[in-house]
Chains A and B, each alone.
Chain A
């Protein structure tokens, strides 16, 4: 277990820059998610730590020691591939033992450590099976066991749950988190799935276009993202453009067309400045009559409703052309009567729930 540092790492293939000045410190025992759309460089970053990619510039340190000159087999790193890459000609036991054999671990010690790993990953009874005789979830656990048994300084996971179906993915999420916390191992995992990042990671680094644009805890990034792109990538959101019309003490008044919004003023902004406003769908209340106590009220007509089981997503179009998405618990629509397309409704939200981003050109 060790701290991992990336210092100003850049990587280019020919003239294509894949990583641009990536700096990142992962604390001992921390679980960090590299989150971003495909092609943003997150897998390349992971491969830099594993040693399969040598940075064109910058330094990589594991446990304080620079590893850029070390080949992947000289670094003590546990890597779990997206497709697991289990050795098809070996049994589960042989797969798990592979790294220990390379380390010339004695027979008794090897058997003990493999047995321990089999227990931790709930693979008991499957030791003699071949990978093609296992289910997706079992393969995933073998891949994890094989990477963990060597007691790596850092565990690296590339889209660890990407190949599993939805139900299994949720189970493995819980399992993975339990194993990671029990062993207290420094972990970096790559994902494009924001839900996976939010539920597994202690900290998330969001990557766009070869750069880390923002890092923070899942709560920080979800509730108070500093960048518009991060807000729209993590979860669902409503983002629209508005102009500052008045600064009123702790509040700012903004307008876009006939929609007027009052927002908590966290930054100094002059009159007429153009900004982006963002609000999460679950922070919007929806009612048939204009609520009396609300500060921000926007009227519109329901365009579509999408039933999602626990909640309903309601798309509301306004006269200015901005479309809002509101998320309501499914029961409330039941008790409040049926919402139908075309109904006139009022959206209301608190000034504190609106996020304000300086406009991007």
Chain B
């Protein structure tokens, strides 16, 4: 727990430090670095693009994951073990390797590099997570619910809409969150896929760090940590999704 929390506390403390350099413990208090965030190159534009790509990544991966998860959880089919392992493989393969593979793929196809390239890369990277969380949701839901709905006169589509989908909600939300967050702060894959004119938040923050050593990125990270924590706490309260991904 201390190991997990320490860097976060350090980041927050450093962001309020009055000094030019990252030092600990902080010697004075200042909000200067929060004002300075605006000076990170293209930070507004890059964050907006990151938000767009992350949202679309979440939506695409979750939509693709629903049928896959239903098939895995509810049906037996040939070579199921292999297919499941294959679907979950992006979790196990190093991101750099995936980045290089996707880069080679786009070079080979000759497609132009733009934000859609980035989106495709992120979808490949994150596709495994929603499958996992939705399968976990399905494993917790009772299959006789669907039979109950059927015997009460519901056709397949109505059963899916009124019974299956509401059972999946925690899995959909946590799957979306996983995909969104992984995409939003991804560096190793994005670095291969961005070209001039297209840039994302993590890339610009890393660029800034490589040129300056002041605590501006810490200030930016603090805002990021606060927003993400708030979202996770809200969603966990409402759906209990974090515990779901642990169970899955």
Min CB distance, B150 to chain A, in Å? 5
- B145 interfacial contact with A, CB 8 Å: yes
Number of interface residues of A (CB under 8 A): 25
**Residue in chain A with minimal CB distance to B146:** A85
**Nearest CB to that of A89 among chain B residues?**
B166
Q: Which residue of B lies closest to A150 (CB)?
A: B152
**Residue pair B144, A77 in contact (C-beta under 8 Å):** no
Interface string of B142-185 (1 = CB under 8 A from A): 10110111111111001000110011000000000000000000
Contact with B151, one of A77, A83, A87, A89 (Cβ below 8 angstroms): A77
A102 to B166, CA, bound (A): 17
For residue A73, CB closer than 8 A to chain B, the reply is: yes
Once the chains bind, are B147 and A98 in contact (CB under 8 Å)?
A: no
A81 and B147 form a contact (CB under 8 A)? yes
> Is A146 close to B, CB under 8 A?
yes
**Do residues A81 and B148 form an inter-chain contact, with CB atoms below 8 A?**
yes
Q: Is residue A325 contacting chain B, with contact meaning CB distance below 8 A?
A: no
- Tally A-B pairs: CB < 8 A: 59
Tell me if A's interface is mostly helix, strand, loop or mixed.
loop
Residues of B close to A102: CB separation below 8 A: 152-154, 158
Give the distance in Å from the alpha carbon of A50 to the alpha carbon of B148 in the complex. Answer: 10
Alpha-carbon distance between A89 and B165 when the two chains are bound, in angstroms: 11
Interface mask (B21-44 → A, CB under 8 Å = 1, otherwise 0)? 000000000000000000000000
| Residue A307 interfacial (CB < 8 Å) | no
Tell whether A281 is near chain B: CB-to-CB under 8 Å.
no
Closest to A97 in B: B152
Please determine whether A98 and B145 come into contact, CB atoms closer than 8 angstroms: no
Once bound together, how far apart are the Cα atoms of A86 and B162, in whole Å?
13
Residue from A73, A89, A146 in contact with B154 in the complex, judged by beta carbons closer than 8 Å: A73
Q: Give chain B's interface residues, CB within 8 Å of chain A.
A: 142, 144-145, 147-155, 158, 162-163, 166-167
7 tightest Cβ-Cβ pairs between the two chains A and B = A99-B152, A102-B153, A85-B148, A85-B144, A79-B151, A89-B166, A72-B150
- Give the B-binding residues of A (Cβ under 8 A): 50-52, 71-73, 75-79, 81, 83, 85-89, 98-99, 102-103, 146-147, 150
